[in-house]
């Protein structure tokens, strides 16, 4: 039996249930909502099911409130039940309730998002989860996003069952401002070819506690402006393909009059609207013009938690190309001070590590930057950059340590290695830089080293590596 809610009730409507009748359980197999008006399903509402259950929303914005539960009966003919949210394009459905299981053979449950519209989940599955199988009530089959958008917007705990892996397939998007997982590995998020992960709904933060794998052909979309999206992977493993497609979108934040580009080849970037105005040259085909307007200044940040003593450890980034970052001229900072380190003390490098150890950047390219390329910052120890190519740099190539001397030795950067890297064509924006620099020299030098670098065509007359004290140990070469 399918319950249909057609376009006959006008205005926002509250509906109690749906709920089982004591004498008619397992009868309902779906709900169809076809109304432009808002329907809200309110408790009490508890459905026990022996087959797949589908919510189909053809139009409008509708919701199930917190307190409604869906669960499989103790036995199902197929052995599994999927709860399917089939939301049409431009429609929206918010589910504030919970899907759970009774621990018994043949009653596994899962969640599937179909249709081009948006489904939002806001419940907290934390209280339903238990490490003991006999006590667990959190659903165990995968959460699958086949099409449209699934927004995870829980305020506490985990918005997806901590025992359910998430699969984002071609045409599907995972986003929201909530969190997934309990710090284990069972709720790992997998984004497959054509699938997309887009933190927030607009600008926001999505937290993944059980890890993330971005497979070949996966997409990562971020909004950047005066504020930007944040994707936090706080547990499990983080695996990223070199064939990842990244889209960065500027946001309109406030009205501003556009400047006029009145000569061929001139352009104007409105940083508040994220709009580039360009006056094409004679005969130039705009359909073939590649325009890049970077907003971000750090593309990869590894940041451990100093207060709790948690380090970022054993991550390896290989074969990636980090391209196009912005630079900022601050009102009070020295614009081009010693080694170009004082212009922006909070965002120095494109790849920036603090409280990180045993991490590697191998065979990567850092190019078209507005600042430094790579920095092993505060308390970064035993990290390595090898066979990397740094070029077209706004400032220099590699920094070991911070601009200021730390208060304690354990805050210094030690035993980091840069090996067999090619660093050239730097100082495009900040001419007082170096190919490589040791900062906070008092605690940095033992035994960090740069081995077999190749440097040429620098903005300065001198292309040497800048060692800040007699104890720094460098083995450097120079290729004019």
Q: Once rounded to an integer, what is the mean pLDDT over residues 259-282?
A: 67
Q: Once rounded to an integer, what is the mean pLDDT over residues 173-183?
A: 94
Answer yes or no: do 287 and 318 share one domain.
Answer: no
Query: Is the pLDDT reported for residue 347 higher than 60?
Result: no
143-145 β-sheet, strand order: 2-5, 30-34, 53-59, 80-87, 108-114, 143-145, 166-168, 189-191, 211-214, 237-240
DSSP-assigned letters across all residues of 2-46: EEEE-TT--S-EEEE----BTTBTT---EEEEE-SSPEEEESS-E
327 lies in a domain?
A: yes
Q: How many CB atoms lie within 10 A of CB 79?
A: 11
Query: Could you tell me the residue range of the domain that residue 284 belongs to?
Result: 252-293
> Are the C-beta atoms of 443 and 420 separated by less than 8 Å?
no
- pLDDT per residue as tens digits for the range 69-122: 877 765 555 567 889 999 999 999 999 988 887 655 556 888 999 999 999 999
Domain end, chosen from 293, 308, 324, is at 293
Answer yes or no: do 344 and 432 share one domain.
Answer: yes
Answer yes or no: do 398 and 354 share one domain.
Answer: yes
Q: Once rounded to an integer, what is the mean pLDDT over residues 391-420?
A: 80
Answer yes or no: do 318 and 376 share one domain.
Answer: yes
**How many domains are there within the chain?**
2
Answer yes or no: do 289 and 328 share one domain.
Answer: no
Answer yes or no: do 261 and 361 share one domain.
Answer: no
pLDDT band at 270 (very low <50, low <70, confident <90, very high): low
Query: Is the pLDDT reported for residue 463 higher than 80?
Result: no
Answer yes or no: do 401 and 276 share one domain.
Answer: no
- pLDDT per residue as tens digits for the range 353-364: 999 999 999 999
B/e letters for 157-196, b = 16+ CB within 10 Å, e = fewer, are: bbbbbbbbbbbbbeebbbbbbbbbbbebebbbbbbbeebb
Answer yes or no: do 396 and 439 share one domain.
Answer: yes
337 lies in a domain?
A: yes
458 lies in a domain?
A: yes
Q: Comparing 242 with 186, which gets the higher pLDDT?
A: 186
Domain end, chosen from 238, 271, 293, is at 293
Query: Is the pLDDT reported for residue 415 higher than 90?
Result: no
CA dist 314 and 6 (Å) reads 55
Answer yes or no: do 263 and 357 share one domain.
Answer: no
- Average pLDDT along the chain: 77
> Are the C-beta atoms of 368 and 324 separated by less than 8 Å?
yes
Strands 267-270 and 275-278, by their bridges, are: antiparallel
261 lies in a domain?
A: yes
CA dist 451 and 416 (Å) reads 11
265 lies in a domain?
A: yes
Answer yes or no: do 331 and 409 share one domain.
Answer: yes
202 lies in a domain?
A: no
Answer yes or no: do 317 and 454 share one domain.
Answer: yes
440 lies in a domain?
A: yes
66 lies in a domain?
A: no
Q: Once rounded to an integer, what is the mean pLDDT over residues 30-37?
A: 90
pLDDT band at 450 (very low <50, low <70, confident <90, very high): low
pTM for the model stands at 0.58
Domain end, chosen from 240, 265, 293, is at 293
Query: Is the pLDDT reported for residue 217 higher than 50?
Result: yes
Answer yes or no: do 402 and 286 share one domain.
Answer: no
């Amino acid at each position: 039996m399918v319950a249909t809610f057609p376009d006959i009730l006008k205005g926002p409507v509250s509906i109690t249930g749906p709920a089982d009748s004591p004498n008619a359980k397992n009868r309902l197999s779906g709900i169809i909502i076809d109304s432009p008006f808002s329907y809200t399903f309110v408790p009490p509402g508890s459905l026990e099911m022996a087959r797949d259950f589908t919510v189909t929303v053809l139009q409008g914005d509708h919701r199930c409130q917190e307190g409604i539960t869906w669960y499989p009966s103790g036995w199902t003919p197929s052995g599994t039940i999927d709860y399917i949210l089939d939301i049409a394009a431009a429609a929206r459905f918010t589910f504030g309730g919970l899907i759970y299981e009774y621990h018994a053979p043949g009653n596994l449950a899962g969640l599937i998002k179909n249709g081009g519209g948006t489904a939002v989940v806001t419940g907290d599955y934390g209280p339903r989860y238990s490490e003991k199988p006999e006590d667990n009530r959190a659903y165990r089959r995968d959460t699958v996003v086949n099409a449209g958008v699934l927004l995870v917007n829980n305020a506490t705990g985990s918005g997806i069952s901590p025992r359910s892996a998430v699969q984002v397939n071609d045409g599907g998007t995972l986003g929201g401002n909530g969190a997934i997982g309990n710090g284990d590995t069972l709720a790992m998020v997998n984004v497959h070819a054509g699938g997309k992960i887009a933190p927030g709904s607009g600008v926001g933060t999505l937290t993944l506690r059980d890890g993330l794998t971005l497979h070949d052909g996966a997409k990562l979309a971020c909004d950047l402006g005066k504020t930007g999206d944040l994707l936090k992977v706080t547990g499990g493993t983080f695996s990223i393909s070199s064939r990842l497609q990244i889209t960065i979108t500027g946001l309109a934040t406030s009205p501003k009059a556009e400047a006029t580009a009145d000569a061929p080849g001139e352009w104007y970037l409105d940083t508040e609207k994220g709009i580039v105005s360009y006056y094409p040259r004679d005969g130039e085909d705009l359909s073939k013009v590649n325009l890049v307007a970077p907003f971000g200044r750090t593309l990869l940040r590894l940041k451990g938690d100093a207060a709790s003593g948690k380090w970022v450890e054993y991550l390896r980034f290989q074969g990636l190309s980090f391209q196009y970052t912005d630079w900022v001229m601050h009102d009070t900072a020295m614009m081009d001070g010693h080694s170009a380190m004082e212009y922006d003390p909070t965002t120095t490098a494109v790849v920036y590590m603090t409280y990180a150890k045993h991490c590697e950047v191998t065979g990567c390219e850092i190019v078209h930057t507005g600042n430094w390329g790579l920095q092993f910052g505060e308390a970064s120890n035993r990290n390595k950059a090898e066979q990397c190519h740094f070029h077209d740099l706004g400032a220099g190539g590699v920094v070991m340590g911070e601009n200021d001397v730390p208060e304690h030795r354990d805050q210094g950067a030690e035993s980091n290695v840069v090996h067999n890297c090619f660093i050239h064509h730097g100082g495009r924006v900040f001419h007082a830089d170096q190919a490589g620099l040791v900062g906070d020299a008092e605690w940095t030098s033992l035994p960090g080293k740069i081995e077999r670098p190749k440097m040429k065509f620098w903005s300065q007359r001198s292309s040497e590596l800048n060692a800040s004290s007699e104890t720094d140990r460098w083995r450097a070469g120079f290729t004019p």
